[in-house]
Amino acid sequence: MTITNRKNRKYSIVPYQKTWAQDFFRIEAELKPLFGDLAIAFEHVGSTAVERMSGKATIDVLVIVGSILDVDALNQDMEQLGYTALGDYIKQGGRLFAKEISDERIVNVHCFEFDHDHIQEMIIMRDFLRSHPDELEQYAKLKRNLFAKHPNDYIAYRANKDPYLAQMKARAIKWNAKHCMNSDEKLVTTARFDWNSVGLDFGNWEEEKIWALDLPVQEIDIEKLLWHLDVPYWENDTSERWTVTPRDVIDGKHGTTHERIRTDRADTSFPIDLFEHKGKIFVLDGLHRFIKLFMQGKQKIRVRIIPTDRFSEIASEHPIELPTLK
């Protein structure tokens, strides 16, 4: 396959499509068997990863790998899937595979080693736009206007967009630095967190039993759940228990790749399951859906509230391990 250069490339700017997220998951499922253990994680990046963002209908897939040199051995297999290997076309030390139909780019697969700086740049830009609706709208408007002026000249489109993109990148990095800890700072740990303040003294439930409950769906203000953002519910990427908070995931902190992937995949069409305990409203199932909705700027969320007299219906014979309470 011959890949067109920037000047001749066909392109269009279209409104956000809900199918883009599904397209990413389909591509990820196609690539996973090929990359195997070489891939540490797959991330949906670029404009198609940001809800409500207008952009080119090009799915950008970031593949974080253990060894970039080993990616070169996949060139022939990727060609069988319709991709062209473009080497370090985007950044030195990376590999790009592109797929086009009728000279219009439909997929970019960006491969970088786990410690490459461009990984964080791509994720920070995505998360910045997801959490800043004003920036999102301004950037989308710029792209629409530039496409209207240069519908047949991709070089001119990029030349006029790139200076703004560089300025926005600087704002995103500043935002990330403000909200994320320094690289040599450790994540929150159980020893530093007051679990007694949460009142988490239970772990005796099964998700499948929760899902089977027939309960009404209602709307509540998302602010009632914001206290969850600073509780270290999960383990980090090196399997240290009770170290990662929802806010860590939102801020893209080191060691949260697994939970960021789970958040990306969360299906927000399902309500969040809650219950009241010790004066708090707890998320019993749906923390990743909650994070995703929070990042999307939702003020109201759909929930189900589980009455305490129905706890026996969701009880597990194998309670989960709880953090040590002091």
Question: pLDDT band at residue 192, thresholds of 50, 70 and 90?
Answer: very low
Please check whether residue 60 is in contact with residue 33, taking contact to mean a CB–CB distance below 8 angstroms: no
Q: What is the pLDDT of residues 258-281, one digit of tens each?
A: 888 888 888 999 999 998 876 778
Q: pLDDT at residue 166 above 90?
A: yes
> Which one of 125, 146, 179 terminates a domain?
179
Let me know: does 103 contact 10? Beta carbons within 8 Å.
Answer: yes
Return the higher-pLDDT residue of 252 and 187.
Answer: 252
* Predicted pLDDT at 319: 64
Question: Do 210 and 275 touch, CB atoms closer than 8 A?
Answer: no
Give the mean pLDDT of the chain.
85
Over residues 93-145, the pLDDT tens digits come to 999 999 998 888 999 999 999 888 898 889 889 989 988 999 999 999 999 99
Read off the CATH number of the domain in which 86 is found.
Answer: 3.30.460.10
Residue 47 lies in a domain: yes
Strand partners, 98: 84, 108
Same domain, yes or no: 126 and 171: yes
pLDDT of residue 183: 39
Asked if residue 326 is part of any domain, the answer here is no
CATH code, domain carrying 283: 3.90.1530
Residue 80 to residue 97: CA distance in whole angstroms: 12
Q: Where is pLDDT greater, at 13 or 8?
A: 13
Give me the percent of the chain exceeding a pLDDT of 70. Answer: 87
* In the chain, % of residues over pLDDT 90: 48
Instruction: Kindly state whether residues 24 and 164 are assigned to the same domain.
Output: yes
Q: Which residues of 83-113 are buried (b: 16+ CB within 10 A; e: fewer)?
A: bebeeeebbeebbbbbbbeeeebbbbbbbbb
Supply the range of the domain harboring residue 131: 19-179
Examine the pLDDT at 71 and tell me if it is beyond 60: yes
Q: Look at residue 189 in the predicted model and tell me its pLDDT.
A: 36
Structural domain contains residue 209: yes
Instruction: Identify which has the larger pLDDT, 323 or 168.
Output: 168
The yes-or-no verdict on residue 156 having pLDDT over 90 is yes
pLDDT at 131: 86
**Rounded CA separation 71/65 (Å):** 8
Task: Return the higher-pLDDT residue of 239 and 145.
Answer: 145
Instruction: Check residue 181 and give its pLDDT.
Output: 46
- Same domain flag for 31 and 165: yes
- The predicted structure's pLDDT at residue 264: 82
Q: Which is more confident, 197 or 16?
A: 16
- State the pTM of this model: 0.58
CB atoms within 10 A of CB 275: 20
pLDDT of residue 314: 87
> Does residue 183 or residue 198 have the better pLDDT?
198
The tally of domains found in the chain comes to: 2
